[in-house]
Amino acid sequence: MSVTEPDRSWDNEQNDGGQSSLSTAGARTLATTTKSAPQMQEITSRWLLKVLPWVEVTGGTYRVNRRLSYVVGDGRLSFTNTGAEVHLVAGELGELPALRGFADEEVLGALADRFVQREYAAGDTIVQAGDPTDRVLAIAHGKVTKLGAGQYGGQSVLGVLADGDYLGDAALTNTDATWDVSARASTQCIVLELPIGAFRELVDRSPALRAHLDAFVEATGKPQNRLGEAAIELAAGHTGEPRLPTTFVDYDAAPREYELSVVQTVLRVHTRVADLYNHPMNQLEQQLRLTVEALRERQEHEMVNNREFGLLHNADLRQRIHTRTGPPTPDDLDELLSRRRSTRFILAHPKAIAAFGRECSRRGLYPSSADLGGHTVPAWRGVPILPCNKIPVSPTLTTSIIAMRTGLEDQGVIGLHQTGLPDEYQPSLSVRFMSIDEKAVMNYLVTAYFSAAVLVPDALGVLEDVEVGHYGDLQQQQPAGS
């Protein structure tokens, strides 16, 4: 009995004849496309806006009252150059404490002309501790290490001076001044030096300058604490009934005031777009969402870089330190942390964080981590290190690292804003409908008000001249041919 095979010639003809069902391309004409919301690469973590405590400023201005301080003029000097010849900008001499507030441009110009340019090679001793202070040093270029005598005969590193720093200014008002530290060139340095003899000759010729220096000596001769604040007289450890000192707390007569800054833009949306193309996503809502994201990014940029209230420009000069060798080492971060109590956060560019990690790897160290709002971030000595790409990196691959204490209670760094604005969309951010123009375009004014304040100088510190392109021994350890 034979089994007859089924006839499959019809199937073969169908398979050989081309498409036998609806294609996916054709099906898509009847299907609904699932869409994502508009994406944006500019959005970052914006850690500074998240961790900074925000204080309500109802009057648009925040005043920081402090105790009276006699420490003035701790700024940096500026220089210009013509080829290899370097000149001190005369007006910048007012940054020296003894010359702060002296405005006679002719005398300042004559003083700037008396600076003599000298160059030192790496390792050269510029001044020796204990010698009479016979000149004022202005560091135009390079790094200078300040050295002191150790307790057991060795030398201890007391700090690093770099471009714009100065040394020996005490001799401007003290004829018996001596160098309290030694200074040694860490790199090739260009130093402008003012002989004290030339300075005193100019003082003898200028009654205005002499009167200014006498007033400075009188002001700084008043009792003050180690931070330069007017002293509060106290008695301690006494017995019996001695006469107790009387005192009062003197206030700064001209306290710093921070006005709220603003970021604004006008968002424009055509009425036809808002009317006809609002499903499944609201066009105005998406336009506004992305605009607000860009605005918040600019807000954080201003809070870091603005020359009036930005963190990089408002750090006290005594709280700005330089790296010892260039890249950010554990020693540098320890020095930065030691300048203040209760450092809460460290902000650094991601490249600086990577550079710090390389330096830790070279030493066989493994930085810890910290949990911050459910995010695991690197930490050093228990202080979270947060990435902030708003901190600039120069073309020479140098940047800065910011350390700060935050909060009103700790006299730290605070953010300033004002809530309850008309048409408020987010705290301190408003979206106001302005008009519909003759082209049927709707206009919305998007505005954010903000600022930042440093309550006391040691709340904020900056590690400067951080090299992020240095790989050191890691390059030397690569195997040949790799």
* Mean pLDDT confidence for 134-163: 83
Beta strands in 84-174 (DSSP E): 85-88, 116-120, 125-127, 135-141, 144-149, 155-161, 166-167
User: Which has the higher per-residue pLDDT, 93 or 328?
Assistant: 328
Taking Cα atoms as reference points, which of 424, 420, 468, 372 lies closest to residue 50? 372
β 383-387/345-348 pair status: parallel
pLDDT value at 338 more than 90: yes
Within 10 angstroms of residue 141's Cβ, the number of other Cβ atoms is 16
Residue 330's H or E segment, with its range, is helix 330-338
Q: Is 199 exposed, middle or buried (0-12, 13-18, 19+ CB in 10 A)?
A: middle
Within 10 angstroms of residue 52's Cβ, the number of other Cβ atoms is 23
User: By mean pLDDT, which of 129-133, 234-238, 415-419, 478-482 is the weakest?
Assistant: 478-482
Name the one residue in this structure whose structure tokens are 């604490």. 225
User: Which has the higher per-residue pLDDT, 107 or 218?
Assistant: 107
Q: How far apart are CA 112 and CA 80, in angstroms?
A: 12
pLDDT value at 459 more than 50: yes
Q: What does the pLDDT read at residue 14?
A: 53
Contacts 24+ apart (CB under 8 A), 99-103: 99/73, 99/172, 99/212, 100/72, 100/73, 100/216, 101/72, 101/212, 102/208, 102/209, 102/212
Q: How far apart are CA 31 and CA 37, in angstroms?
A: 19
In Å, how far are 66, 222, 237, 245 from 234, measured between CA atoms? 20, 15, 10, 6
Predicted confidence band of residue 378 (pLDDT cuts 50, 70, 90): very high
Taking Cα atoms as reference points, which of 459, 377, 471, 352 lies closest to residue 413? 459
Which amino acid does the sequence have at 144?
V
User: By mean pLDDT, which of 28-42, 51-65, 194-208, 231-245 is the weakest?
Assistant: 231-245
Predicted confidence band of residue 276 (pLDDT cuts 50, 70, 90): very high
Report angle CA 378, 380, 385 to the nearest 5 degrees: 45
Q: What does the pLDDT read at residue 291?
A: 95
User: By mean pLDDT, which of 122-126, 219-223, 260-264, 389-393 is the weakest?
Assistant: 219-223
Q: What does the pLDDT read at residue 2?
A: 55
Query: Counting runs of H as helices and runs of E as strands, what totals does the chain give?
Result: 12, 25
Q: What does the pLDDT read at residue 12?
A: 55
* Mean pLDDT confidence for 151-158: 75
Map residue 412 onto helix, strand or coil.
Answer: coil
Q: What does the pLDDT read at residue 259?
A: 94
- Distance from the Cα of residue 108 to its chain's centroid: 31
Q: What does the pLDDT read at residue 474?
A: 46
Taking Cα atoms as reference points, which of 99, 69, 73 lies closest to residue 228? 69
Taking Cα atoms as reference points, which of 296, 319, 320, 317 lies closest to residue 415? 296
Q: How far apart are CA 434 and CA 266, in angstroms?
A: 9
Q: What does the pLDDT read at residue 90?
A: 85
Q: What does the pLDDT read at residue 481?
A: 41
User: Which has the higher per-residue pLDDT, 282 or 473?
Assistant: 282
pLDDT value at 288 more than 70: yes
pLDDT value at 482 more than 50: no
* Mean pLDDT confidence for 173-185: 88
User: Which has the higher per-residue pLDDT, 175 or 397?
Assistant: 397
* Mean pLDDT confidence for 140-162: 81
β 345-348/398-404 pair status: antiparallel
Q: Is 121 exposed, middle or buried (0-12, 13-18, 19+ CB in 10 A)?
A: exposed
pLDDT value at 414 more than 50: yes
pLDDT value at 38 more than 80: yes
Q: Which residues contact 327 (CB under 8 A, 6 or more apart)?
A: 355, 356, 358, 359, 466, 467, 468, 470, 472
Q: Which residues contact 481 (CB under 8 A, 6 or more apart)?
A: none
pLDDT value at 320 more than 70: yes
Strand partners, 194: 136
Secondary structure (H, E, C), 373-385 = CCEEEEEECCEEE
Predicted confidence band of residue 479 (pLDDT cuts 50, 70, 90): very low
Model pTM score = 0.76
Q: What does the pLDDT read at residue 9?
A: 56
Q: What does the pLDDT read at residue 480?
A: 41
Over the chain, what is the mean pLDDT?
86
Q: What does the pLDDT read at residue 247?
A: 67
Percent of the chain with pLDDT over 70: 88
Dump pLDDT digits (tens) for 209-259: 888 888 888 776 666 666 666 677 777 877 777 877 766 677 777 788 999
Dump pLDDT digits (tens) for 58-82: 889 999 988 776 544 556 788 887 7
Beta strands in 295-410 (DSSP E): 320-322, 345-348, 369-372, 375-380, 383-387, 398-404
